Amino acid sequence: MSIVKNARLLATRGARLAQNQSRRNYSDEMKLTFAAANKTFYDAAVVRQIDVPSFSGAFGILAKHVPTLAVLKPGVVQVVENDGKLTKYFVSSGSVTVNEDSSVQVLAEEAHNVADIDVNEARQLLSKYQSQLSSAGDDKAKAEAAIAVEVAEALVKAAE
C-alpha cells in the first residue's frame, strides 16, 4: 500500500520536474528572500525592484534579471514592493543571488531598517574609527580600522 503511494508520489514529482524543465523561461514575478542573522525581512515575497550594493558595483534587480551572484558591500538595499512602497535597509555584508526563475536571495550578516540607525552614533563611530586608523600600528590593525571607517561612512550617508 505504502509502496504504491510512494510510487505515485514519485511519479507526480517526476512529471512536475519534467514540466519545469520544458518551461524554463523567465518568470514575470520576482520573489525576494531577504534575511539576516537578526531578522527575516522578506520570505519569498513578490516585489517589483531591489537595489543592492555589491563589490562589483551597485545594481538594480527587476524580474527577468540575468542570473547573478554578487558579494554584498556595506550599504543600503532598497526594496520597491508591488504597491510602490519603498523601504531602505542597511546591510553589513553577505551575498545576493539572482536565479533563472527570477527568485532573489539577499543574505546578510546583519541588516536593519535605515530608520533604526542612530545618525549621531554613526558620526561618533566614524571619528572614533578614523582616529583608530591613524594610530594603527601594523597592516592588519590598519586594514581593520579602514573597514570600520568604510562602514561608518556608509552608515552616516545612509542615515542622513
Collapsing DSSP states into helix, strand and coil, what is residue 101?
A: coil
User: Shortest gap between Cβ of 151 and other proteins (angstroms)?
Assistant: 4
The residue (of 104 and 149) whose beta carbon lies closer to other proteins is 149
The residue (of 22 and 120) whose beta carbon lies closer to other proteins is 120
CA R_g for the chain: 21
C-alpha atoms less than 13 angstroms from C-alpha of 99 in its C-beta half-sphere: 13
Burial class (CB in 10 A: 0-12, 13-18, 19+), 16: exposed
Write out the DSSP string of 2-57: HHHHHHHHHHHHHHHHHHHHHH----SSEEEEEEESS-EEEEEEEEEEEEE-BTT-
The residue (of 63 and 133) whose beta carbon lies closer to other proteins is 133
User: Shortest gap between Cβ of 85 and other proteins (angstroms)?
Assistant: 22
The residue (of 32 and 148) whose beta carbon lies closer to other proteins is 148
Amino acid at residue number 33 = T
The residue (of 32 and 152) whose beta carbon lies closer to other proteins is 152
User: Shortest gap between Cβ of 79 and other proteins (angstroms)?
Assistant: 18
User: Shortest gap between Cβ of 132 and other proteins (angstroms)?
Assistant: 11
User: Shortest gap between Cβ of 99 and other proteins (angstroms)?
Assistant: 22
Q: Contact positions toward other proteins, by CB under 8 A? A: 37-38, 55, 71, 74, 90, 92-94, 109-110, 112, 116-118, 121-122, 125, 129, 139-140, 142-144, 146-148, 151-152, 155, 159
Q: Taking Cα atoms as reference points, which of 84, 117, 96 lies closest to residue 34?
A: 96
